[in-house]
Amino acid sequence: MKIFGLIAVLVVGALLLSATSDFPDWRDKDSPANKSPVSSFYIEKTEKLTKVPNMVTAVLADYRGYDTMFETVVIFIAGIGIIAVLRNFDGPNSSSIKRENNDEGGGLLARFTCSLILPFIQIFALYVVAHGHHSPGGGFQGGVMLGASYILAALAFGLSKAKDIFSERRTMIFAAVGIFIYVGWGVLCLLFGKEFLNYEALDSILPGDAKMARSHSMLIVEIGVAFTVTAIMFSMYSNLSTRGRLSKGL
């Protein structure tokens, strides 16, 4: 088996490397990918057409917003999938909250430090979501940080306390609401007469001109993404660390 694996790997690797003979050099600014009209359009026209200086966020949430919607769906599927695979809903361990009285979490020092740090982490995460237009950031990045703050709370204070804030039902609702915001915003554009996810259609209900409507819509859509990512990050942690029993955490 190992010999077969080695041969397969060497063949595939050689095939991949043989193609590099006519690739453009690294860091070449005139390579077809960098010179193409698509990339030039993104770089030159983004700020004029959408008033968002961060080109990556603009491409993610506006030009290729359809892709980002499916990316959010992928993370949603991972969350539901883990619950569907691991959770046992009618066995003896099926109640979703088991009060473990000795679940002290991480100990006194961890609890104290976390209660000091957590608010700052969460505010920074919200800042990253909101400021994605001007600095690296956006829905995914901020959502992961926010989810990580809840995981930190679960580690420090014990999983049962964290589940009081963020029960399983609530995580599922948050996750579904996040995608609802994204898809619903696109359907709103549809109802106003233009194509799906064409934010210019919402010019009449959002402040500013049509270009600012795009900027605002990108923010709304990123908020939806952040909801979903936060909820699913916490749900993945709580299911994977307890093997689906949601009893005592790590």
Partner 1 sequence: MTEHFPVLILLVPLFGALIVVLLGRERPDQCWVTSLISLGVSSLISFFTIIAVLSGKVQTLRYRMGGWPESDGYEVGIELRVDILAALVVFAVTFVGFVNTIYSKTRAGAEVRGKIPFFYALIQLLIVGLCGIVMTNDAFNLYVLIEITSLTSYALIAMGNRRAALSSFNYVIMGTIGASFYLIGVGYLYIKTGTLNIDDIRMVLGQNDLWEHQSIIVAFIFIMLGVWTKMAFFPLHGWLPNAYAYAPSMTGTFMAPLMTKVMVYVMIRVMVWVFGNEFVYSSQHVWGEIVIWMSVLAIVAGSLLALARTDIKKILTYLIVAEVGYMVGGSWLAEGIGQAGAFYHILSDAAMTFCLFIAASIIVLRVGDSRVNAFDGLFRKMPLTMIGFTVGALSMIGLPPTCGFFSKWYLISAGIEAGHWGYACALIFSSLVNAVIFFRIFERAYFGKISGVKEDHFPSDSDANPDIRIKEVPWSMLVPLFIASGSVILLGIMNRGLFEWIQTALKIMNT
Partner 2 sequence: MDPIIATFIEENIVPNFNYWIYVILMMIGLYAMITKNNLIKKLIGMAIFQTAIILFYVSVGVKDTANIPIISHHGSEHHQMTDLSSETDSTKEIHNTIDKDKYANPLPHVLMLTAIVVGVSTLGLALAISQKIYKSFGTLEEDEILNKLRPGGHD
Q: Which helix (H) or strand (E) holds 240?
A: helix 210-242
- The partner in contact with residue 228, picked from partner 1, partner 2, none with C-beta cut-offs of 5 to 8 angstroms by kind, is none
- Alpha-carbon distance of 21 to 123, in angstroms, equals 49
Long-range contacts of 109-115 (CB under 8 A, 24+ apart): 110/155, 110/156, 111/156, 111/157, 113/156, 114/152, 114/153, 114/155, 114/156, 114/157, 115/156
Q: How far is the CB of 43 from partner 2 (least distance, A)?
A: 5
Which residues 68-97 are close enough to bind partner 1 by CB under 8 A?
70-71, 73-74, 76-78, 80-85, 87, 89-90, 94
Long-range contacts of 123-127 (CB under 8 A, 24+ apart): 125/149
Using rule CB under 8 A, residue 38 touches partner 2: yes
Q: How far is the CB of 116 from partner 2 (least distance, A)?
A: 29
- The partner in contact with residue 22, picked from partner 1, partner 2, none with C-beta cut-offs of 5 to 8 angstroms by kind, is partner 1
Which residue in 9, 11, 31, 120 binds partner 1 (CB under 8 A)? 31
Task: Take residue 229 and report the two structure tokens written for it.
Answer: 């990512």
Which residue in 136, 165, 184, 208 binds partner 2 (CB under 8 A)? 136
- Alpha-carbon distance of 106 to 130, in angstroms, equals 32
Task: Take residue 196 and report the two structure tokens written for it.
Answer: 């799906």
Using rule CB under 8 A, residue 11 touches partner 1: no
Using rule CB under 8 A, residue 99 touches partner 2: no
Using rule CB under 8 A, residue 192 touches partner 1: no
- Alpha-carbon distance of 78 to 86, in angstroms, equals 12
User: Which single residue is written with the structure tokens 């005139």?
Assistant: 30
Q: How far is the CB of 7 from partner 2 (least distance, A)?
A: 10
Q: Which residues bind partner 1 (CB under 8 A)?
A: 15-16, 18-24, 31-39, 41-42, 45, 62-67, 70-71, 73-74, 76-78, 80-85, 87, 89-90, 94, 169, 172-173, 175-176, 179-180, 183, 187, 190, 194-200
